[in-house]
Structures are given as structure tokens and as C-alpha cells.
Amino acid sequence: MPLVKVIIMLLALMLITGGYVLAAPMSIKFTHSDGQDSIKGKASDYFKRLVEQRTNNRILIKIDPDSAVSTQHLLEALKDNSIQMAAPEISESYSINPQLRLFDLPFLFNDSEHLHKVIDTEIGTKLLKSASQDGLIALSFWDNGFRQLTANQPVIRPQQVEGLKFRVKESEVFKGQLVRLGAETQTISEMQLYTALDEKKIDGQESTLATIYGQKLYQVQSNLTLSNHLFQGYIVVTNNHFWSQLPDDLKVIVKGAIRDAAEYTRDMATQINDEALTRINATATLKVDKLTQEEKTLWFEELKQLFPGPYKKNTEEFVRKAREELNKVE
């Protein structure tokens, strides 16, 4: 075949395929600790579909769910490029940057609308930038909903936790604040939580509405306080080694897919937790109290006084701006 015809055929093929005839697909291993039916699992699958479709499979993503690896080991695996993306819980990722402790201050955010008003501004951009260090690049925040309080008595005011035993999740700040309010905190796995409540080893706990319904905690508690006291979310992280090798046009596509996946988690978290509340109400086994804005402010002001010095130092500017955004929302 004449050389001219070969060249013409190659050029035609390159035009059809976007000019990437010889380029092997780039691969991303995305590891996370949740099941594929979780919000994070569904969001990572959604992200995979978007990226592979929008890049015509120039990037292929392997999702590695249900990882039992600790967040610290996950971040180390990111740094040495054993994996290229992860989405650990924010509350387990403060080693990335202390300013992420903003999310550890209870009652800082009123609800999802307020939260998104904050992280969609320069505050969120600065937080992601501050977390992009030591070989890591923070790309986005993903939603899972807000934690709510349950107990065997009403918990409307801070003083009402005195004398109660609470199972509290990762927030060291909230644990310390409850203790200083006169409560006792215990570390109990989610698998053991129902039994601990049923056997009255603890009096209350805090988790998302989806967890309260999914784990049937409404069967062993008498009161639910819709407090929205802590945001339970994820931070999506990649590493500089992988990111620096990614062509600019693919970076744009990946960033766009991450943003779309973030919106997906917001919609899904709202839907799932709203549905859980509807089902909890239908059981008629719990008395449900929703904190007013005044009651939330009372909690915030009370707990703010107990906010540890190192936390306050790293987050003071962000806290001030977050409260300013709350006034705009109202």
C-alpha cells in the first residue's frame, strides 16, 4: 500500500478517535471503606460512569469498596500512588490539615442549605487548598447528611445531657464537650450499638437518620432530637504524582465529574435521610423534637465556650465567616 494512503488512513482514524490512537487508557484506583449501596459507594460509581463516558475511556476507574484499611493507611497509600483516589470521612482526616477541624464544631451549620452556602464560597475553596499538601490534592467535599441525637429522654437543651451515657462517633471535640456538660461518652462499634442501647449500657447516641432507621435504633430509644449538630461528610483526595501526569484536558473532565458527583451526594443524602425520617415517624415509636433556630444557637454558644484552644486557633476565621453565611441564609 502506498505510503500516502497509509498516512491518510492513520489521519482519518485519529480524527475519528480524537487523536488518541496509540494512547493507552490511564487508570484510577478509587478506594473507600463503604459498601457500594452506600451514598459514597453510589457516588463513586456515578463518578466512574461520568469520567469514562466523558473521556471515551481514556480514563478507566476501578472502584475498590469495603476497604478495612484505616484512614491513615489509606492516605499513605495515596501518597505512594498505590491508589489514586479516596474519600475518607472528614472527621477522620484532620491529619491532612488542622483547618478541617472546622467541621468538628457542633451546631456550626444550621442545615444542608447553610452548609452548602459556606463550602460553595471561598471558604470551601480555601479549605480544599489548605488540605492540598504533603503530596495530596483535595478535590471536593461529598455529603452523607447530618447527625441527630437519640436518647431515652428529651434532649432539647445542653443541660439535659448531664448524667447520660452517650455513644459518640469520631468527633473528639464533641466527646469532650459532652463530658464537660456532665455526660459520659463511650466508644461502641456500629455493629454493637443496637445491643448496647437495648441492654441500657448507654442512654443515647448520635448518627444520621439513615443509620437510625437502617439499624432500627428507633426500637430501643424513646426520643429523637433533630439537631443537625454535626455534618457527616467525606473529602475526595488524589495525589500529586498522579495528578501531575494527567493531561490538562482530562483534569478538566475529572474536576467536572467530581463536582457533579458532589451534587449527586447532596441530592441523595437529602432524599435518603428524608425518607428515613418519614419511615421513623410511621413507626410511632419515637417522640421527635426539632430544634428551633434559637435552641440551636443556644447549643452553639454553650459548646463554643468549650471549644479547645488548638481547634479554635486553626478555625477561628472560618467559624466567623460560616456564622456570617448563616445570617444571609436566614
Question: How many other CB atoms sit within 10 Å of the CB of residue 77?
Answer: 18
Which is it for strands 85-86 and 59-64: parallel, antiparallel or unpaired?
unpaired
Identify the band that residue 101 occupies on the pLDDT scale cut at 50, 70 and 90.
confident
Any idea what DSSP says for residue 311? H
Q: Is 43 left (phi over 0), alpha (psi -120 to 50) or beta?
A: alpha
Whether residue 268 has pLDDT greater than 70 = yes
**Which neighbouring-strand residues pair with 4?**
none
The mean predicted confidence, pLDDT, of the chain is: 88
pLDDT of 20 reads: 46
pLDDT of 209 reads: 96
State the average pLDDT over residues 176-185.
91
CB 221 within 8 A of CB 150: yes
**Which neighbouring-strand residues pair with 86?**
31, 237
Q: What is the pLDDT of residues 276-323, one digit of tens each?
A: 999 999 998 999 999 999 999 999 988 887 776 656 666 677 777 777
**Which neighbouring-strand residues pair with 204?**
151, 166
Provide the whole-model pTM: 0.86
* Residue whose grid cell is 484536558: 249
Q: What is the DSSP string of 223-281?
A: EEEEEEEEEEEEEEEEEHHHHHHS-HHHHHHHHHHHHHHHHHHHHHHHHHHHHHHHHHH
* Residue whose grid cell is 445542653: 158
Q: What is the sign of the dihedral through the CA atoms of 77, 93, 68 and 59? A: negative
Q: Cα–Cα distances in Å, from 244 out to 54, 77, 78, 239, 249?
A: 20, 17, 14, 9, 12
Question: The domain at 24-329 falls in which architecture?
Answer: 3-Layer(aba) Sandwich (3.40)
Identify the band that residue 184 occupies on the pLDDT scale cut at 50, 70 and 90.
very high
- Non-local CB neighbours of 319 within 8 Å, separated by 6+ positions: 102, 105, 108, 312
Of 313 and 119, which is predicted with more confidence?
Answer: 119
Of 35 and 257, which is predicted with more confidence?
Answer: 257
pLDDT of 145 reads: 95
Identify the band that residue 19 occupies on the pLDDT scale cut at 50, 70 and 90.
very low
CB 295 within 8 A of CB 76: no
Residue type, 132: S
Q: What is the pLDDT of residues 205-262, one digit of tens each?
A: 999 999 999 999 999 999 999 999 999 999 999 999 999 999 999 999 999 999 999 9
Whether residue 15 has pLDDT greater than 60 = no
Give dist(CA 188, CA 96) in Å, integer.
Answer: 25
48 closest CA partner among 37, 62, 31, 34: 62
Give dist(CA 186, CA 167) in Å, integer.
Answer: 5
Element (H, E) at 206: strand 204-208
